[in-house]
A = this chain, B = another copy of it.
């Protein structure tokens, strides 16, 4: 059998809080989702003013990053026309997100979960997701 390390709900709150500080700093209310290493949702917050369309997108970015152990913007590069993963954006009923803003959370080389952020530009989303991870890793 395998023993797995994964984020717990207290970790998820730290990740969300860290992301929220950055979202406030750049002035973009965000949807922020945290999943465990199995891709399953642990926690979610839509900040006041966050886009309702971004709830699903944030959850699916986190799902993709944790489940595929890969940042969503990496899929963006890999799925351009002519590139090997072209078309992957439509996979899993559209849940496989290739837009930046989904990052795996990695501890000692293992993916223990993911964070997905949506409502800003993909660059802003990714910056806010990274801030969540920085807050979490800084507190370990």
Chain A residues with a Cβ under 8 A of chain B: 1-9, 11-12, 36-48, 51-57, 60, 63-64, 67-69, 75-76, 79-82, 84-100, 107, 112, 121-123
In the complex where A53-B67, A88-B99, A94-B90 touch, is A39 in contact with B41 (Cβ < 8 A)? Answer: no
CB distance B94 to A8 under 8 Å? no
Considering the chains assembled together, what is the distance between the CA atoms of A76 and B79 in angstroms?
11
How many whole Å from A94's CB to the nearest CB in chain B?
A: 4
Q: Return 16 A-B CB contacts under 8 Å, by A number.
A: A1-B6, A1-B107, A1-B112, A3-B5, A8-B48, A9-B47, A37-B38, A40-B55, A43-B46, A51-B67, A53-B91, A53-B96, A60-B91, A76-B87, A79-B87, A93-B94
Q: List the B side residues contacting A44 at CB < 8 Å.
A: 41, 43-45
